[in-house]
Amino acid sequence: MALQGGFLEHLVALRTIGVVAREVRLPNDLNDIDGLIIPGGESTTISQMMDLYELRKPISDFAKKGSPIWGTCAGIIMLSMNNSNENPETLSLIDINIKRNAYGRQSESFIADLDSSIFSDQKFQGVFIRAPIIARVGKDIEVLSWLKDESPVAVRQGSILGTTFHPELTDDYRYHKYFLTFFE
Ligand code: GLN
């Protein structure tokens, strides 16, 4: 989804691993694609632009068909349950609650080695930029990666994937490749 934020890095990552990927801006763009990534950026802006371009219902319908959606950082905020006045209006597509900017300001951004249930080899380097915290995880949520203190930072519910960090900002494409398994 190319409304705002880091969509270019996701396009590069996808193309590097051989995926035909393009920018999605308008409802019609959803008609002939198999999956969607909502990138990081600023969720309040992304939310407003989703209204402006009337994307909310088309994205919900896309998810209802079972089409995979992955949100990174602001993207996971957009996928989370709509439960807090501090958050922009979200899509409520994954049963988690989010606390925005919960690690502090931009200068408190950090990189951390993540443990993951889906990768058996080396740790995944998580790039956290003014990231949200996953404050509640519903009972149908699979936790895929977590920090040293065991707090979840990557979650899945069926065909919906959310990461609070930015795999597209590293050249480790294991998460992008993992997302491709949703289409098998
Ligand atoms: N702080 C941003 C927000 O609340 C998210 C930051 C990001 O996507 N890297 O929307």
Distance CA 149, CA 20 (A): 37
Note whether residue 160 is domain-resident.
yes
Domain total of the chain: 1
Listed in sequence order, the DSSP H helices in the chain are: 7-16, 43-52, 56-64, 74-79, 174-180
Contact 47 CB / ligand 1 (< 6 Å): no
User: Strand 124-128 vs strand 96-99: parallel, antiparallel, or unpaired?
Assistant: unpaired
Distance CA 111, CA 169 (A): 11
The two tokens of residue 80 are 């989370």
Predicted confidence pLDDT, tens digits, the chain (184 residues): 999 999 999 999 999 999 999 999 999 999 999 999 999 999 999 999 999 999 999 999 999 999 999 999 999 999 999 876 677 999 999 999 999 999 988 888 999 999 999 998 899 999 999 999 999 999 999 999 999 999 999 999 999 999 999 999 999 999 999 999 999 9
Instruction: Out of 10, 54, 73, 150, pick the active-site residue.
Output: 73
Would residue 76 count as lying in a domain? Answer: yes
Is the C-beta atom of 77 inside 6 A of ligand 1?
yes
Residue at 2 is within a domain: no
**40 CB within 6 A, ligand 1:** yes
Domain membership of residue 1 (yes or no) is no
Residues 66, 69, 75, 80, CA torsion sign: positive
Boundaries of domain holding 166: 7-183
CB atoms near residue 158 (< 10 Å): 14
